[in-house]
Amino acid sequence: VVLIVGAGRGIGAAVAKRFARGGYHVVLVRRSDSAQLKASVCEIEAMGGRATGFLMDATTASSSSSSTYNENNNQDPLESLIDKIETTVGPVHVAVYNLGAQIGSRRLQETSRKQFELGWKLGTFGLFRLAKYLLPRMAARSGGSLLVTSSTAAMRGDMGQASHAAAMGGRQRLCQALHAEYARHNVHIAHIVIDSPVDSPDTLGKLLGDEHFDKLRQDFQTKRGGLVDPKAVAGLYWYLHHQPPSTWTFELDLRSRGDMPWWSSSRL
Ligand SMILES: NC(=O)c1ccc[n+]([C@@H]2O[C@H](COP(=O)([O-])OP(=O)(O)OC[C@H]3O[C@@H](n4cnc5c(N)ncnc54)[C@H](OP(=O)(O)O)[C@@H]3O)[C@@H](O)[C@H]2O)c1
């Protein structure tokens, strides 16, 4: 069973299809678009694969006050969904945490506390909750993978990215800490940095609007080898999950041909 938290038509659905082709039952979770969720499930079934879809906000928890959080609350949507999947579908072998935390480019004074907190919930806290609930189970079963999609903001803070960079930087460090604790239990944690725009209509497409998104697609196609292709990313997730334990990748760093890497100052 593969659980994909954040399964839009970009990386999420592409990873789902790759694992479905490999014989896994895929569980797709997304927040709001029930029509597209259904379409993704039907597409996988039409290919002869097995898929189940759930609509859920993965950031919802019993209390927003950190002093009164009910630890490992199996009534919370994400935790109770994991229970449900493991009871009705089967043990989760691979979890993909694919929620972005981009709230758009906002300078510090335009970033509200609420937006910053939402960025943290998407970027870091949701992953912490997934890991806290699932990794002990994977460890008890002696194996599994947690594959975490990430972005340039995990590696570098930039103008207008206070919330995004703090959230994604936390995501990368959390992955390092999870690796340190769970690799010895045969759970492979990988942090996949995507340092270019992705051909993802449900995230980047909606953020930019159709017209700008089409223009970006064309510009990248002619000058840079195309936007990052979710199908190609999905092939790498499959590869990461199948690496031998003697040779695990912790971090991948991907970008389209011709896009400058995050560590190049010429992009600033
Ligand atoms: N797109 C880019 O240009 C880009 C660039 C660099 C890195 N990344 C990284 O790539 C990952 C996302 O991949 P993608 O852009 O290809 O997206 P995608 O897989 O096409 O879609 C992600 C889905 O996550 C769902 N989602 C958002 N918030 C959620 C929540 N609170 N609970 C449950 N589901 C939620 C949304 O569902 P609904 O649509 O149903 O609300 C969205 O469609 C992120 O980690 C991001 O940081 C993306």
Q: Which token pair is 43? A: 């597409």
**Residue matched to tokens 């912490």:** 128
Residue nearest to atom 29 of ligand 1 (CA): 31
* Residues with C-beta less than 6 Å from any ligand 1 atom: 6-12, 29-33, 56-59, 98-100, 122, 149-151, 194, 197-198, 200, 202-204, 230
What ligand 1 atom has the least distance to the C-alpha of 230? 16
pLDDT of residue 91: 98
Render pLDDT for 117-147 as a digit per residue (tens, 0 to 9).
999 999 999 999 999 999 999 999 989 999 9
What are residue 89's DSSP bridge partners?
none
Q: Which atom of ligand 1 is nearest to the CA of 148?
A: 45
- What residue owns the CA closest to ligand 1's atom 8? 151
Overall pTM > 0.95? yes
Helix/strand/coil percent split, the chain, to 5: 50, 15, 30
Q: Which residue is associated with the tokens 């159709």?
A: 210
Q: Is 177 helix (H, G, I), strand (E, B) or coil?
A: helix
What separation in Å is there between the alpha carbon of 106 and the centre of ligand 1? 19
What mean pLDDT is reported for the chain? 95
Q: What is the pLDDT of residues 40-64, one digit of tens each?
A: 999 999 999 999 999 999 999 876 5
pLDDT 10s digits, 215-267: 999 999 998 889 999 999 999 999 999 999 999 999 999 999 988 898 886 55
